[in-house]
A and B are shown apart, each in its own frame.
Chain A
Amino acid sequence: MALQASPHLQDLVNRHLSMEDEPLLLAIYYRPEREQPDIFLFEVVENFGAGRIHEDRELFEIVFEGNSGFPLDPGQYLHLVLTSPVEFIAAVDENWKHIEELKKAIEAGQYQVLYEDPGRPDLMERIHA
């Protein structure tokens, strides 16, 4: 069964759209095989990390606890996987670990696109390629 984001997650992505200094280009809720039942949100963000490409060939991932505005089950965490368009393209071309697990989740139908910038359809196309 396809994933369905909670209203809290969709609302969070909607709020990210208001961040003008780091515009959101793509947001995907996905469920990799690891660390279930955590919530994984993958975002491509203009200017994230000044467009730096991580030398260790891993996208930036950070984990938060839930809170009253974003309730999670006990032991459940929110993972943000963040990258810039420049790094994203490099990561797809070289099939970095996060891209590999994102592609697997997509193949398994364990994902939902929560936002896609109409001006950047190429980002999603790269994942599907």
Chain B
Amino acid sequence: MPDPGANLWISQANSDWRAADLVYDETDHRTYCQAISKYQQTVEKSIKAVAAALQGAGVKSVRREYYYDHNLDDLISALRRSPYPRKAQHVQARICEVLSDYYYLEINALSSLAPRKPQRGALHARNTEYPYESAQGVWTAPALLGEFNKHEVLRFYRLAERIYERTREIVSAIDRYKKTLT
């Protein structure tokens, strides 16, 4: 069975991006975690779109299980891992530009806010969707006042905007290149 095409991932990333815009209300702290959660989804699907585009164009092969993992470490590592091309505008260089060290760290920071099952003995980590422990046995919820703030929303808004816009262009270009193959 063929994998979903890159355009479907981008469409879904666009939907998340739009949903974040709709849900965020600067005057209502309960919406902060929801907006950040949608930014995380926007970034995740945008990066998966690039992987799907490269796969579809036969430029790079990406393991299928990466698409089902919210942790983007392995996927980003696979996308960045390639001999750096001689031309600055080469598709690989464009991808490395979007996934530069700085943005890689920012993406990791955003990804770390997706809920995950804690390791044995570890706290339930701060995340945007489930109740979590601020200290051993001290529970709180992401929607409560003070758990997330406007600065974080703005920080991840900027990240999601950049990743979505840049990856959309790359996916569109790869899609056009892909026409050489059909």
Contact = CB atoms under 8 A, between A and B. Distances in A.
Interface of A: 8, 12, 15-16, 19, 21-22, 35, 43, 45, 48-50, 52, 60-64, 67, 69-70, 77-80, 82
Contact of B179 (A12, A52, A61, A79): A12
What 7 pairs across the A-B complex have the smallest Cβ distances?
A70-B180, A15-B179, A62-B173, A63-B90, A61-B89, A63-B89, A69-B180
Given A79-B89, A80-B177, A67 B165 contact: no
B48 interface: no
B180 A8 contact: yes
B164 to A, nearest CB: 9
Contact of A63 (B58, B91, B172, B182): B91
Interface of B: 7, 58-59, 85, 87, 89-91, 93-94, 165, 168-170, 172-173, 175-177, 179-182
B169 to A, nearest CB: 5
Contacts, number: 64
Interface residues of B, dominant DSSP = helix
B87 A77 contact: yes
Contact of B165 (A15, A16, A52): A52
Given A16-B176, A49-B172, A77-B87, 19 more contacts: A16-B179, A19-B175, A19-B179, A21-B7, A50-B165, A50-B168, A61-B89, A62-B170, A63-B87, A63-B93, A64-B59, A64-B91, A67-B180, A67-B181, A69-B180, A70-B181, A80-B176, A80-B177, A82-B169
Contacts of B89: 61-63, 79
A69 B177 contact: no
16 contacts: A12-B180, A15-B182, A16-B176, A19-B175, A48-B169, A48-B172, A49-B168, A60-B169, A60-B173, A62-B94, A62-B170, A64-B59, A70-B181, A77-B87, A82-B172, A82-B173
Nearest to A41: B176
A48 B170 CA distance: 10
B117 to A, nearest CB: 37
